[in-house]
Amino acid sequence: MIRLQGVKYFQNMSLRSWFSESPTIKLATICALTLLLLIPSAFVMQLIRERSRLQEDAVNEISSKWGSSQSVVGPIVSVPYRVRSTDNNNNNVTTTLEYVHFLPETLDIKGNIKPEIRHRGIYNAVVYNADLAFSGTIKRPDINLPNVKNEDILWEGASVYVGITDLKGVKNTLKIKMNGKELEAMPGLDTRDVCSTGLGAKIDLKADSTEVFNFSFALSVNGTESLSFAPIGKETKTNLQSTWTKPSFTGAHLPETKADVSSSGFNANWNVLYINRSFPQVWVGSSSDIYSSNFGVTLLDNINSYDKTTRSAKYAIMFLALTFLAFFLTEVLSKTKIHIIQYVLVGFALSTFYLLLLSLSEQIGFNMAYLFASIAVIMQITFYASTFVKHRKNTVAVFGVLAALYGFLFTTLQLEDYALLIGSIALFVILSVTMYLSRKVNWSDIQFSNHKAAQNTPPNTEQ
């Protein structure tokens, strides 16, 4: 009986030793731990999304009072005409009004965008005031529609109007000059075939037989983040200038030549022909969508850091895996026993980085937040590692690995277009270094600690 107890003791000790010292079991445990530690990273991602939504709500609140993203379209001349229809018995005649719309021959737009940052709590929104000058020519409409008599064309009811997305942002009285005659535009449009909101004025084309109208008007408008135009002229030339240093040129058309963007702002020019768009010069009703060919500029918020924080959090699994790999190699190469609880604490420290980055970036900007958060986490893990690794050089190695990881991530975030290339090269280098360092390791005989015979002494069997 006593001998059986001794045999069982040695079997149990062998099983415990295998579980505690087998590199295969240890590596499998680390992999499982890495996946489990993605749970707090997922909570951090959710928190980032919530804070980003709060930012969007703050921007919407500011834009609701200042002016939303603006799209300015015009001028457009619309002429009403009567459409007569009868019932099946040709007894009752009903009359409805429809409109034929005419676009300019030439359109020249010049704009000076003056941006500023508005705050709502800790959140920011990029708003602007744009001083716009429009000029060009419009030919007298020539209406030749089937089944429409000349007397049904209401030339005296024609209107010229400018579509503006958010009238709340208009800062001046809009006066449209047509061949020197000044027309004061009022809110409310005779037809919403083309634009849903805007300012318009009546123009009596019955009394005025001019063939070509020269027009001009000035518009001062407030908006948030983006400003766009529709290329409604047969030739539309646009020049936009601003002191904003981070523009994004958006829409269906890019600037004609490479925009001049510098530390003092940007200067961009567009030249769009009518053959470059999807709608004609003249059409009836609401058959054409002029907004599909819009172009313009978006003022990117260089203070908003949620996008970069989200992108950095997506690298959480790589940070966990590579940091744990560094500790695992330390165990293998230096015969240092690192407990799984110590891996857990290091993993929690790595997850805390993203929380620090999010909270600090809302106050001091992304770059400074990244610097402080990475330094804090690197020093925290390095000091903790120094308490259980055997040699100072191992502590220095841990510091170097963490510094390289955080430096790599920051570089990747700054060079978004080359993120895949940089990541591929970095992973190749890391794998190569790992293979080189472990080239002489005998994985079959490796043990993480040396147990003395006295520690494995079986119970006293002489009793």
In the chain, the domains with their CATH numbers are 20-52+306-448 (no CATH), 67-299 (2.60.40)
pLDDT in the model for residue 195: 85
Identify the band that residue 124 occupies on the pLDDT scale cut at 50, 70 and 90: confident
> What is the per-residue pLDDT for 437?
66
> Mean pLDDT across the stretch 363-373?
83
Q: Which backbone phi and psi does 20 adopt, to 5 degrees? A: -85, -25
Flag whether pLDDT at 9 surpasses 60: no
What is the residue type of 56? Answer: E
Using a CB cutoff of 8 Å and minimum separation of 24, what contacts does 360-365 make?
Answer: 361/305, 361/308, 361/309, 362/51, 362/122, 362/123, 362/305, 363/122, 365/303, 365/305
**Among 72-76, 143-147, 215-219, 308-312, the least confident range:** 143-147
Classify residue 170 by its DSSP letter. Answer: B
Please report which confidence band the pLDDT of residue 21 belongs to, taking 50, 70 and 90 as the band edges.
low
Task: Return the bridge partners of 404, or none.
Answer: none
What pLDDT does 15 receive? 46
The span from the first CA to the last CA of the chain, in angstroms, equals 11
For 123, the 3-state DSSP assignment is strand
Of 422, 285, 312, 286, residue with least CA distance to 367: 312
Whether residue 235 is predicted with pLDDT greater than 80 in this model: the reply is yes
pLDDT at position 451 is 44
Helices (H), 242-339: 306-313, 316-334
pLDDT at 249: 87
Distances (CA, A) of 359 to 30, 59, 149, 363: 29, 19, 70, 7
pLDDT for the residue 239:
93
Rounded CA gap, 335 and 353, in Å?
29
Average pLDDT, stretch 25-47? 77
Q: Residue 447: pLDDT above 60?
A: no
Q: What is the largest CA-CA distance in the chain?
A: 128
More confidently predicted of 265 and 259? 265
Tell me the Cα Rg of the chain: 36
pLDDT tier at 282 (50, 70, 90 boundaries)? Answer: confident
Beta bridge partners of 177: 182, 216
pLDDT mean over 149-172: 84
pLDDT score, position 457: 45
Which of 47-61, 80-94, 186-200 has the weakest average pLDDT? Answer: 80-94
**Position 421, amino acid:** L
pLDDT at 128 over 80: yes
CB 15 within 8 A of CB 456: no
Mean pLDDT of 409-438: 71
Instruction: State yes or no: pLDDT of 162 exceeds 70.
Output: yes
Quote the pLDDT of residue 345.
84
Rounded to 10 deg, the angle between the 392-414 and 366-385 helix axes is 160
Going by pLDDT thresholds of 50, 70 and 90, the confidence category of residue 454 is very low
Euclidean distance between CA atoms 379 and 376, whole angstroms: 5
Q: Taking all residues of the chain, what is their mean pLDDT, rounded to a whole number?
A: 78
DSSP code for 304: -
The answer to whether the beta carbons of residues 63 and 69 sit under 8 Å apart is yes
Hey, what amino acid is at 122?
A: I
Q: Which residue in 276, 285, 107, 88 sits closest to 191, CA to CA? A: 285
The token duo for 15 is: 């099983």
Contacts of 338 (CB under 8 A, 6+ apart): 327, 330, 331, 388, 389
The model's pTM is: 0.67
- The type of residue at 147 is N
Rounded Cα gap, residues 138 and 104, in angstroms:
4
Maximum mean pLDDT: which of 29-33, 140-144, 155-159, 204-208: 155-159
Distances (CA, A) of 139 to 80, 212, 237, 253, 290: 17, 4, 18, 25, 19
pLDDT exceeds cutoff 80 at 318:
no
In the predicted model, is pLDDT for residue 88 greater than 70? no
Q: Give the position of tokens 């069982």.
A: 8
Q: Per-residue confidence at 131, pLDDT binned at 50, 70, 90? A: very high
Measured between alpha carbons, how far is residue 160 from residues 168, 200, 201 in Å?
Answer: 20, 6, 6
Q: Are strands 260-262 and 198-202 parallel, antiparallel or unpaired?
A: unpaired
User: For strand 212-224 and strand 186-187, is the pairing parallel, antiparallel, or unpaired?
Assistant: unpaired
Mean pLDDT lowest among 46-55, 307-316, 413-422:
413-422
Helix axes of 340-364 and 306-313: crossing angle, nearest 10 degrees: 170
**Mean pLDDT across the stretch 223-229?**
89
The β-bridge partners of 295 are 229, 251
- The per-residue pLDDT for 229 is 92
Percent of the chain predicted with pLDDT > 70: 81
Band of pLDDT at residue 462, cut at 50, 70 and 90: very low
**What confidence score (pLDDT) does residue 108 get?**
93
Of residues 61 and 113, more confidently modeled: 113
Share of the chain above pLDDT 90, in %: 8
pLDDT the model gives residue 36? 80
